[in-house]
Amino acid sequence: MNDLAKRAADNLRLVREKKPLVHNITNYVVMNYTANALLAMGASPVMAHAQNEVEEMVSLAGSLVQNIGTLTDDWIASMISAGKKANQLGKPVILDPVGSGATTLRTNSAKKIINETKLSVIRGNASEILSLRDENSATKGVDSLHSVDEAADTASSLAKELNTTLAVTGVVDLVTDGARVIRVLNGHKLMEFVTGTGCTATTAIGAFLAVDKDPVTAAATALAYFGLAGEKAALKATAPGSFMIAMLDALYEITPEVLEKESRFTI
């Protein structure tokens, strides 16, 4: 655990030193919030989705974040082009399969991205992650119908099957590559009342992947940092509007030292 806490601090320090460019192909709802979160963390955000630009843009980036929250076929095509280019260049890619399981388009698009590109990490709620396995799951919008505990064993075997690292977020977050399993305990219940906290957690992982080549530790430490920002925000705000602003403040204010001391993991 101490190793992970130290790794979290190191990763945050590296993000602030290197200010990695994080290329996002993400949904309209969260673009502003995730860009602000990346800046608050110390990273450098860019949003670009044009077919005739994404390969060049991802070449400049430290990592690629893909999110299907407001998908159309042409955006998925751009994600696949960008993902293939990132793969060629050895840059890490993370997918947020928002609402996978809820509609055929979302489930099929997530699976298409998974099949055609190599992903370092997939982050979703338990229902979204479970939907990547079979089509019997029916998510209620982007909310989870299954607990993190239900998903744990499945996640581990699914991670092996898909040859990636899965980050299943909920009250407790679970990160696994099929061999290692890390649980992240940081977080706060008000985060559910802010749109795009899941998407922004994904982006935080994207920033950490740009400085930490191990997807398991990058994902777990980013989720600890993001969850801790929720805890800090809850010390200042008791309702979702002021809470979402306080979270941006906290992402900026949390030092590597505080993160090392207050991040909470179990294996």
Provide the minimum distance between the beta carbon of 57 and its own copies in the complex, in angstroms, as a whole number: 5
Alpha helices, DSSP H, located in 117-173: 126-131, 148-162
Using the rule CB under 8 A, is 249 a contact of its own copies? yes
Among 198, 246, 256, 260, binds its own copies (CB under 8 A): 246
Nearer to its own copies (CB atom), residue 44 or residue 117: 44
Using the rule CB under 8 A, is 99 a contact of its own copies? yes
CB atoms under 10 Å from CB of 242, counted, come to 13
Among 7, 85, 91, 106, binds its own copies (CB under 8 A): 106
CA 207/CA 46 separation, integer angstroms: 12
Using the rule CB under 8 A, is 240 a contact of its own copies? yes
Beta-carbon contacts of residue 39 (< 8 Å; ≥ 6 apart):
45
Residues of span 136-195 touching its own copies by CB under 8 A: 140-143, 192-195
Phi-psi region of 92 (alpha: psi -120 to 50; beta: other; left: phi over 0): beta
Using the rule CB under 8 A, is 111 a contact of its own copies? no
Residues of span 68-97 touching its own copies by CB under 8 A: 69-73
Provide the minimum distance between the beta carbon of 209 and its own copies in the complex, in angstroms, as a whole number: 17
Phi-psi region of 146 (alpha: psi -120 to 50; beta: other; left: phi over 0): beta
Provide the minimum distance between the beta carbon of 47 and its own copies in the complex, in angstroms, as a whole number: 5
CA angle, residues 131, 133, 135, in degrees to nearest 5? 55
Nearer to its own copies (CB atom), residue 90 or residue 141: 141
Nearer to its own copies (CB atom), residue 157 or residue 241: 241
CA 198/CA 142 separation, integer angstroms: 10
Provide the minimum distance between the beta carbon of 222 and its own copies in the complex, in angstroms, as a whole number: 19
Nearer to its own copies (CB atom), residue 214 or residue 249: 249
Nearer to its own copies (CB atom), residue 27 or residue 221: 27
Binding mask 15-54 for its own copies (x = CB under 8 A): ------x-----xxxxxxx-xx--xx---xxxxxxxxxx-
Beta-carbon contacts of residue 107 (< 8 Å; ≥ 6 apart):
100, 101, 131, 132, 135
User: Are residues 80 and 109 in contact, defined by beta-carbon separation less than 8 angstroms?
Assistant: no
CB atoms under 10 Å from CB of 227, counted, come to 25
Provide the minimum distance between the beta carbon of 51 and its own copies in the complex, in angstroms, as a whole number: 8
Nearer to its own copies (CB atom), residue 62 or residue 178: 62
DSSP-derived letter for residue 182 is: E
Report how far apart the first and last C-alpha atoms of the chain are (Å, whole number). Answer: 8
Residues near its own copies (CB under 8 A) are 21, 27-33, 35-36, 39-40, 44-53, 56-57, 60, 69-73, 99, 102-106, 140-143, 192-196, 237, 239-242, 244-250, 252-253
